[in-house]
Amino acid sequence: MSEGVLEGRVAIVTGASRGIGRAVAERFSAQGAKVAVNWVRGDREARDVVEGIKNHGGDALSVQGDVSRSADVRKLVRATVDAFGRVDILVNNAGVMVSRSVMDTTEEDWDRTIDVNLKGAYLCSKEVVPIMLEQKTGKIINMSSNSGLYHPSAMRFTEYVVSKAGMNGLTKAMALALGPHITVNAICPGWIKTEMIEGTDPEVERRILAETALGRWGTPDEIAGAALFLASKDADFITGELLIVAGGRGMH
C-alpha cells in the first residue's frame, strides 16, 4: 500500500462525530494521519467514527469537549499529545447555527453561536500553537462558510454570518502572527447537505440551487478533499487564504 500524504501526522478535528467533521477525520486517516475525534454531543456517533477508522487500519481517539470552554480545550489537546505525541494539524470545524431571523433570536442564541463558532476556533488555536511552534511546523484549518463573504443571498442568519466573517478575520490575523512555521487558512463551503441544514424551506433550497453554477449540493467529502489539500505539503506556501468550495455560488 502506498504511503498517504499525511503519514506520520497527528490531527485534531473538532465537531468530528458527523457531517463535514466526520468526512475530514476519515479522509485524513485514510491518508495516514492519526486523528483526535472531538465531539460535544453524540457519543455513539463519535465511537462509530473511531471504530471505522481503526477497522480500516488507522488510529484515532475520541475526546468529548465543548470548544467554547477553555478547560475542555486543554483536555482535548492534552489527550491528543498523551496518545500521539504531537499535533501537526488542527481543523476548527465545530459549529452551530440558529435558523431564525435576527428579530427572533435571543441573547443566548448570539452568545452560543459566537462562543462555539468563533471563540472555539480561537481557543483551540491558542492551545495548539505552542506545540506547533516547538515543532517548527503546523497547519490550522478553519471551517468558515460562504455566508461570511457578504453576498446577499447567503446572509440569512445574522449570528452565524457574523461568526463566520469573524473566523475569516481570525484566519488572516493568525496567519500573519504565526508565520513562518504555522500556516492558517479557511475553507468557505457553500450549500453542503448535512444535518445542520435539515428542515430548510424548500423554496429557499430551490433559490440556492438556482444561483449555484454547478446546480447541485456539495457533499462533506468534497469539503474533506479541500481540507486534505490544505493539510498536505502541496499547500506549504499558502497561508491567510479563504478557499471557497461552493460550486460557483456567490462568485465575486
What digits encode the pLDDT tens for the residues 17-61? 999 999 999 999 999 999 999 999 989 999 999 999 999 999 999
- Residue 29 burial by Cβ neighbours in a 10 Å radius (0-12, 13-18, 19+): buried
Active-site positions? 160
pLDDT above 80 (res 174)? yes
Please, what CATH class does the domain formed by 10-245 belong to? alpha beta
Query: What is the per-residue pLDDT across 183-201, written as a single tens digit (0 to 9) for each?
Result: 999 999 988 877 655 666 6
pTM for this prediction: 0.94
Query: Would you state the pLDDT for residue 1?
Result: 42
CA atoms within 13 A on the CB side of 217: 11
pLDDT-based confidence at 157, cuts 50/70/90?
confident
Average pLDDT over the chain, rounded to an integer: 92
Query: Would you state the pLDDT for residue 176?
Result: 98
Query: What is the per-residue pLDDT across 202-223, written as a single tens digit (0 to 9) for each?
Result: 777 788 888 889 998 899 999 9
